[in-house]
Amino acid sequence: MAKRPHVVIVGAGFGGLAASRALRHVDVDVTIVDRNNYHLFQPLLYQVASGLLDPSAIASPVRTIVRRSPNVDVLRAEVTSVDVAKQQVKTSTGTLDYDYLIIATGSVTDYFGNQDARMHSTGLKDLSEALALRSRLLGCFERASLTTDSAARRRLLTFAVVGAGPTGVEYSGAVAELIKHVLPKDYRRIDFAEVSVVLIEAGERVLATFAPRLSRLATRSLERKGVRFILGESVRAVDDHGLVLDGGERIETTNVVWTAGVRATTPPDFAADALGRAGRVKVTQSLHLSNHPEVFVIGDAAAAEQAGAVLPMLAPVAIQGGKYVGGVIAARLTGTSISPFRYHDKGTMATVGRGAAVAQIGPVRINGLVGWFIWIFIHLLYLVGFRNRALALWSWAWNYFFWDRPVRLIIAPSADGQSSPPTAGPGR
C-alpha cells in the first residue's frame, strides 16, 4: 500500500482548523503544528483582558477539537524553518516531511519598528498578554489607592489604547465599563474623576473599515462610557511613564495597550521574496505560492487578492481559505481542478460595550441592542464546543444583568511551577 500524502498545517487558528476539517474525509494524513496546545478564539480576547471571561471559555485544546478526525495528528512545537525545496518543516521537536503544506500562522502585533513602543506597551493578541493586561490594570488600581502623589496616581489611572480598530474599540469599551460600573465599588478610596481611558487613533475616525455612520455611533457610545478620543495623531514614543504624540503632546500613563497594527507572522525566512505589505505572503488565486503549488498560505498570513484588493485580516477570510485549500488538495488527489478562491464577505462587526454593537452585513448597517444580539449569536456560532458557548452566554447574561466583570484576579506568573520560599502572606 502506498503511503498516503502528508499534509502539514502550521497554525491551529481559524484557517488551520478549517483546512483540517475539510481534509477529514480525504485520503491524506494531516499534522497540525502549533506552539500552543489550544485553539484561541481571538475575537473575544479582550473579554479575558477586561475580566469578563476565563481563558478556558475562549481556548480549546486542539487535540480535543480534532478528536473525531482519525487522520489528523497534532504537534505542539515551534516551527523554526521551512525548506520548500526539500519539502520539509523544521520544528523545535524535529523535522516533518510534507507533500502539501498549509501556512496558517496568523498575525502578531505590529509596532512598526518602534522598539520603545514594543518595550513599554502590551499587545492584545494572545492569552498571556490578555492575562497580563488584566493583572496590570488591577495592579494599577491597587497601587493608586495607596499613592498620595497625585501626579503618580493619575499616571497609574490613565489607560491609553493605541489604535481604534475593532480590538482597540472593544477593549476600551470593556475597560470603560469595568471602570464605570465595577471598580468604584471595590476601590472606595479612589476618586474616579482621576481615572481615564484614552483611545488614540492615527486615522480620522474609529473603526475605519466600517461605514462612517457606524463609526459615529461607536464614538458616541464610547464617549458616553467616558472614553476620551485623540484622532488623527499617531504615537511617536512610549516610555515607562507615558507616551508622546506626533503633535508633541505628552500623556502620562503607565498603561499603554497597543492595538494599532498587526503584521503576518510566517516561519523565519519563509517565502522571503514573496512578502507583501504587513509581511503577508503573496499567493496565487488558488492560495498557493506561485512557484510551489504544494505550498498554500491562508488567513492573515496570506496577501490574497480579489477584485484588485488584498483581502482583510478577518476570521471569515481564514476560515473560507482553509476550507478552500482543503478542497484544492482533495481535488488534486483525484486529478480534477477547482476554480479560484472566492471570498464571500459575511460582514464585520464590533461591540462597543454591554448591550451595543455595530454591524455591517452587505448593504445593511445595524447598531445598538439588535447589533449586540446578532454579535452574540455570530460569536456563539463560531466558538468551539457546547461548553464554551454555554460559558460565554452565561458570562454575557451575567454582565448584562449585573453590570459585572467578575474575573478580577491578579495572578503572578510562576516561571517554573516550583514553590517559592515560604514567606508571610496569604491565609489558607
| 190-249 positions binding a second copy, by CB under 8 A | none
The three grid cell numbers given for residue 59, joined into one nine-digit string: 481556548
For the record, the C-alpha cell of 230 comes out as 485623540
Phi and psi, residue 427, nearest 5°: -80, 180
DSSP letter (8 states) at residue 122: B
Largest distance between two CA atoms of the chain: 77
Binding mask 367-406 for a second copy (x = CB under 8 A): --------------------x--x---x---x-------x
Nearest to 206 by CA among 358, 364, 361: 358
Q: What is d(CA 296, CA 328) in angstroms, rounded to the nearest whole number? A: 10
Q: 27, 186, 194, 246: which one contacts a second copy (CB under 8 A)? A: 186
Question: How far apart are CB 164 and a second copy at their closest, in Å?
Answer: 19
Within residues 259-278, the interface with a second copy by CB under 8 A covers: 263, 265-268, 270
Interacting positions 71-90 with a second copy (CB under 8 A): 73, 75-76, 78-80
Binding mask 122-161 for a second copy (x = CB under 8 A): xx-xxxxx-xxx-xx-x---x---x---------------
Q: Could you tell me the smallest distance in angstroms from the CB atom of residue 407 to a second copy?
A: 4
User: Looking at 27, 83, 86, 93, which residue binds a second copy (CB under 8 A)?
Assistant: 93
Q: Which is nearer to a second copy, 321 or 353 (CB)?
A: 321
Name the residue nearer to a second copy (CB basis): 25 or 188: 188
Find the shortest distance in angstroms from Cβ 230 to a second copy. Answer: 23
Which distant-in-sequence residues (6+ apart) come within 8 Å of 262 by Cβ?
107, 108, 109, 110, 125, 278, 300, 313
Query: What is the bridge-based pairing of β-strands 262-264 and 107-109?
Result: antiparallel
10 forms part of the interface with a second copy (CB under 8 A) = yes
Q: Is the dihedral of CA 165, 168, 171, 176 positive or negative?
A: negative
**H/E segment holding residue 33:** strand 29-34
104 contacts a second copy (rule: CB under 8 A)? yes
Which residues does 128 contact at the CB level (< 8 Å), separation at least 6? none
- Residue choice 5, 24, 54, 244 for contact with a second copy (CB under 8 A): 54
Length reported for the chain: 428
Closest to a second copy by CB, 268 vs 340, is 268
Q: Active-site residues: which are they?
A: 170
Among 313, 325, 357, 392, binds a second copy (CB under 8 A): 313
CB of 160 to a second copy, least distance (A): 15
Q: Which three cell numbers stand for residue 270?
A: 519563509
315 binds a second copy (CB under 8 A): yes
The smaller minimum CB distance to a second copy, of residues 126 and 229, is found at: 126
CA 116 to chain centre: 22
Residue 150 CB partners (closer than 8 Å, separation 6+)? 194
